[in-house]
Amino acid sequence: MTEPAVLAFEDREYTLADLDACADGLALRLRDQGVGTGDRVALMSSNRPEFLIAVKAIWRLGAVVVLLSPSWKRTEVEHAFAVTEPVVAVGDAAVLAEVAAGRDAPLPMVHLDDPVPERWETAAVAEGFTGADRDADAVLVFSSGTTGLPKAVRHTHASFGAAVVHWRDALALTPADRIQIATPPSHILGLLNIATVLEAGAWMRLHRRFDLETVLRHIERDKITVEMAVAPIAMAIASYPDLESLDLSSLRYIMWGATPVTESVAATVTRRTGVPWVPAYGASEVPVIACNPASGARLDSVGRAAPGVELRVVSLGTGQQVAPGERGEIQVKSPSVMAGYLPDEATVDAFDDGWYRTGDVGSVDEDGWVRITDRSKEMIKVKGFQVAPAEVEAVLHGHPDVADCAVFGVVDEAAGEVVVAAVSATATATIDPDEVIAYVGERLASYKRPSRVILVPEIPRLPSGKVLRRLLEERHGRTSDE
């Protein structure tokens, strides 16, 4: 009996044996570069099957995957290297090769376009791959903090494995399901989706990039049963002119993640297609926190706690647990919670007596339904990606005409939030907002680039020097389309 395919990419399909054969070959190549148990390997890849092959290869050696966004620029990659200290770089991005080669001690670079040995050459050796201990680190994924540059979230094989099981159960996935993945695999949700499809024995189509027309046509062509979406994708579907002409009847539901549901957008899609939504809630540090049921979902809630996940809400003022339905910071205990951050000192404030502090403000009612209303931390969430104001501010302070600056987020219907920068000019300078936006865009990923630059005479600060972001938001924090 022919083994069924588990992954499709463009015109090619892969069985699990195909993926394993390639992973065995790449593992041998990495081992020849000195990669062993506990070593960290930087992986910077576009959406392609080789991403999954590289993850499997690294784990075969008991090593740790360090996920780098393919949209990152040189300074971001250099920071990631400094934090995680990888021994080898793997990927297909020119900037990765440049940073790896430009270090005082250059790192070996394995390009994903390089051929790998075939299974017949590796089968005997592959049997010696033992993998890693479940309590050992499996993957490091970057998450921005509020007071500095991005920090690496450490997930062990046990915590990431728990997240995969939680996601499989929350989405009620079975071997009959067929899923599309167009989100970046360097984001925790992209990797989680891929791993969960394999865990469930389902089938996936991986897209090189998101293109609405292609994604919608493949729902019809591939009989996709579960579609993944964030706010910009949902809005694009809702406004697609020929939506009614497509046969989307194979879809059981569309999952909405990363931002709270825009009910009018979700309702428009359902009205035009008959397809319901399943809102869900997670974070890099705890990939699966809550999810709606696969049938009978509500748009006004991110769902109930996933099986095995505990939630509590504490007062923003006292830190004491509040009554059901009352507003406060949402905190989580789960087998899928991260092992900590790198640098290590960043972990100290992440937990409260064993509970992970999400920084999300909301409530959990008596029936367990979770609602998210605000952020207690200063992170800006753009299309599901977290942006630290301090990181953007550090770049702005390097601009010769900027005397001072402060960065904050404003509500945006498509992206959830967008970045806004308030800047004051040096005494002799005249600032061009468009030029400042381009300056940041040359140095940071596109989602971190300000959508607007506001010129102000000075940045409001406390005597301690802390920026009064709330004041800036009140003065300038209109929705981005105003």
DSSP letter for each residue of 189-223: HHHHHHHHHHHHT-EEEE-SS--HHHHHHHHHHHT
Q: Which DSSP letter does residue 276 get?
A: -
Position 432: which residue type? D
48, 194 contact by CB (below 8 A) = no
141, 343 contact by CB (below 8 A) = no
In tens, the pLDDT along 318-371 reads: 889 999 999 889 999 999 999 999 989 889 889 999 999 998 888 999 999 999
Place of tokens 């972001």: 469
Using alpha carbons, select from 288, 295, 300 the residue that is nearest to residue 369: 300
d(CA 258, CA 281): 7
347, 277 contact by CB (below 8 A) = no
Domains in the chain, CATH or no CATH each: 5-132 (3.40.50.980), 178-375 (3.40.50.12780), 380-476 (3.30.300.30)
187, 384 contact by CB (below 8 A) = yes
d(CA 230, CA 414): 9
Output the tens digit of pLDDT for each of the chain's 482 residues: 588 999 999 999 999 999 999 999 999 999 989 999 999 999 999 999 999 999 999 999 999 999 999 989 999 999 999 999 999 999 999 999 999 998 888 999 999 988 766 554 555 455 556 666 889 999 999 985 544 578 899 999 999 999 999 999 999 999 999 999 987 888 888 899 999 999 999 999 999 988 999 999 999 999 999 999 877 788 788 888 999 999 999 999 999 887 777 787 888 899 999 999 999 999 999 999 999 998 889 988 999 999 899 999 998 878 899 999 998 899 999 999 999 999 898 898 899 999 999 988 889 999 999 998 766 667 788 887 878 787 888 889 889 898 888 999 888 878 888 999 999 998 888 899 999 999 999 999 999 999 999 999 988 876 545 677 878 888 886 544 44
**Residue 51: in which H helix or E strand, if any?**
helix 49-60
What pLDDT was estimated at residue 12? 93
d(CA 1, CA 10): 25
359, 377 contact by CB (below 8 A) = yes
What pLDDT was estimated at residue 471? 84
Q: Could you tell me the CA-to-CA distances from 236 to 232, 245, 310, 415, 480 in Å, in that order?
A: 6, 16, 34, 12, 18
Using alpha carbons, select from 419, 412, 461 the residue that is nearest to residue 440: 419
Using alpha carbons, select from 397, 399, 405, 388 the residue that is nearest to residue 448: 388
β-strand pairing of 203-206 with 5-9:
parallel
Rg (alpha carbons) of the chain, rounded to whole number = 23
441, 375 contact by CB (below 8 A) = no
What pLDDT was estimated at residue 481? 44
At 146 the three-state DSSP class reads coil
CA 187, 105, 30, 26 dihedral sign is positive
What pLDDT was estimated at residue 14? 94
d(CA 134, CA 161): 9
Phi, psi torsion values for 208, nearest 5 degrees: -60, -35
pTM reported for the whole predicted model: 0.81
Taking the C-alpha atoms of 469, 470, 476 and 477 in order, what is their torsion angle to the nearest 10 degrees? 110
